[in-house]
Structure 1
């Protein structure tokens, strides 16, 4: 049973790591905001269909909207717009490495806003990860953060902020309902913003294969993989599942090289190792002496997941 869970987690990472490359392909066919609106629309339909089939939804209280609206604005509208605009000029490998800083950023935001303790491990891991980012964007050339990189940083920050808001929201409603409603609200905001800012008629100029890829990535990567991931966390524990997330940059490197011919440099490889090591240090994912990866999740892990 555990091996099946690990296999499904690996499939999720394969899709999510490939998402950086497919996103870079799609922004050449759609404008960033319209692409985000299209994908969010089909993801929302997927969640609605799942909720109707499983009857898994809750009634919202007025207090829930106070978190859902900012969550849709920051976690969906700002995040998706920054990501798809940034990935037009940033290769998938670099984007995935910058976004891999999210666990550390989330820990720092939790310290600032949720009063969670900031440990020496988090501080040390942050320093190591920042050195890794420097290796990726600064080694072998003048250190310069491009506008596209800044946008990917913004995408990472808004993603981390959305995790903090989601933590508060799921204290009152279940995780799936929180995800579904925040996606629906963010989708509505994205459609309105895209309609106001960009020419809507441009979407019909995209080739059929681009539409198929946009819809498929929305249903598989944002819809199905999200459900699979949450179910497997219950089987193996949140900590072990999180280890798989650190494989996304490597998947992005391999898929980018295979599909787009994106060169992989030694500085990127070294930087990715430092970033992943820093994240594992900060989030205490390095195995303790005597611990075994295939051990059953602890009671605390099961409760937290």
Structure 2
């Protein structure tokens, strides 16, 4: 139960990130905000690696994956997310990003030759219907540029998972995450310096700086470490179930902090998306006892 509690804490922070991101992009430009948060996340990972001595030396073949991973999984992903969140409410963004597990399964079928089952296809159809409920029911169907950017953020995130799977065949997940974050951070800083007026960051109020640093350390740094540790305890499949709670957390936090209205189409769409994801990823437990059982040795090894 301790592991499930810690996983729930991670989801609480990650679901809130959509709302806090919407608040912060009003104080910082998207690329500068991403550069700031990635810088402090990188410092967190470096400090953790120095204390625990948990890192490996890279080979030339690793850089062939790390550089594209930093470009796609960090620079493109963060820029698309923070630019899109300026015009898309946190609830809608969370629901679009919840398509990542299905997208990952499809990409794994295309590039890693993993089997694409009927459950994945059926779950994808259900989830797409859920997205339609969110963006199209009760109003003229219109996909805004912000929604496209959030979709790109979801797609780049799913792509980075595929690339990470290949990378961790040689190095451990923490080292892969740390090095890809450092490379992506360097790219983000350079891109932000070229595109944005750097002196604009000093115009942000002190509370915005505190919130940006705190969310970087808690949501991207500490929660990432907690999540990876608990996966070893309960198994990857059971931990992934908690990811489906992010849209609900974004809804509640957005309503509480920003007064973002929660509509019935959003509620219905979120249920369809989460159900579709659980069908596609085979996360629907057959029995309650099975969900709370200890993970098998094989599941721990695979995670």
TM-score, normalising length: structure 2: 0.99
C-alpha distance in 2, partners of 1:86/1:303?
A: 37
C-alpha distance in 2, partners of 1:116/1:237?
A: 20
- More displaced, 288-297 or 161-170? 288-297
**C-alpha offsets along residues 64-105 of structure 1, whole Å, 9 cap, x if unaligned?**
000000000000000000000000000000000000000000
- Residue 291 of structure 1, CA deviation: 5.0
**C-alpha offsets along residues 237-264 of structure 1, whole Å, 9 cap, x if unaligned?**
1111111100000000000000000000
- What secondary structure, in the 3-state scheme, does the structure 2 residue paired with 1:116 have? coil
- Residue 292 of structure 1, CA deviation: 2.3
- What secondary structure, in the 3-state scheme, does the structure 2 residue paired with 1:291 have? helix
- What secondary structure, in the 3-state scheme, does the structure 2 residue paired with 1:144 have? coil
> Measured at CA, do residues 290 and 93 of structure 1 come closer, stay the same or move farther in structure 2, by a change above 3 Å?
closer
> 1:224 maps to what in 2?
222
- Residue 223 of structure 1, CA deviation: 0.1
> 1:170 maps to what in 2?
168
Unaligned runs of 5+ in 1: none
C-alpha distance in 1, partners of 2:297/2:267?
A: 36
User: How many correspondences in the alignment?
Assistant: 303
C-alpha distance in 1, partners of 2:199/2:177?
A: 30
**C-alpha offsets along residues 181-205 of structure 1, whole Å, 9 cap, x if unaligned?**
0000000000000000000000000
C-alpha distance in 2, partners of 1:119/1:30?
A: 43
**C-alpha offsets along residues 214-238 of structure 1, whole Å, 9 cap, x if unaligned?**
0000000000000000001111111
C-alpha distance in 2, partners of 1:87/1:286?
A: 31
C-alpha distance in 2, partners of 1:166/1:266?
A: 37
- Residue 290 of structure 1, CA deviation: 7.2
- What secondary structure, in the 3-state scheme, does the structure 1 residue paired with 2:261 have? coil
> 1:84 maps to what in 2?
82
- What secondary structure, in the 3-state scheme, does the structure 1 residue paired with 2:141 have? coil
C-alpha distance in 2, partners of 1:140/1:109?
A: 32
> 1:268 maps to what in 2?
266
* Counterpart selection for 1:102 from 88, 100, 113: 100
- Equivalent residue runs for 1:285-304 within 5 Å: 285-289=283-287, 291-304=289-302
Displacement over 6 Å in runs of 4+: none
**C-alpha offsets along residues 102-147 of structure 1, whole Å, 9 cap, x if unaligned?**
0000000000000111000000000000000000000011111000
- Residue 288 of structure 1, CA deviation: 2.0
C-alpha distance in 2, partners of 1:253/1:205?
A: 30
- Residue 301 of structure 1, CA deviation: 1.1
Unaligned runs of 5+ in 2: none
> Measured at CA, do residues 88 and 299 of structure 1 come closer, stay the same or move farther in structure 2, by a change above 3 Å?
same
C-alpha distance in 2, partners of 1:275/1:25?
A: 25
TM-score, normalising length: structure 1: 0.98
C-alpha distance in 1, partners of 2:132/2:296?
A: 36
C-alpha distance in 2, partners of 1:100/1:120?
A: 20
- Residue 289 of structure 1, CA deviation: 4.8
**C-alpha offsets along residues 12-67 of structure 1, whole Å, 9 cap, x if unaligned?**
00000000000000000000000000000000000000000000110000000000
C-alpha distance in 1, partners of 2:53/2:288?
A: 43
C-alpha distance in 1, partners of 2:33/2:157?
A: 18
- What secondary structure, in the 3-state scheme, does the structure 2 residue paired with 1:292 have? helix
- Residue 298 of structure 1, CA deviation: 1.8
C-alpha distance in 1, partners of 2:160/2:186?
A: 17
- Equivalent residue runs for 1:4-153 within 5 Å: 4-153=2-151
Root-mean-square deviation over aligned CA pairs: 0.7
- Residue 300 of structure 1, CA deviation: 2.0
**C-alpha offsets along residues 266-293 of structure 1, whole Å, 9 cap, x if unaligned?**
0000000000000000000001257522
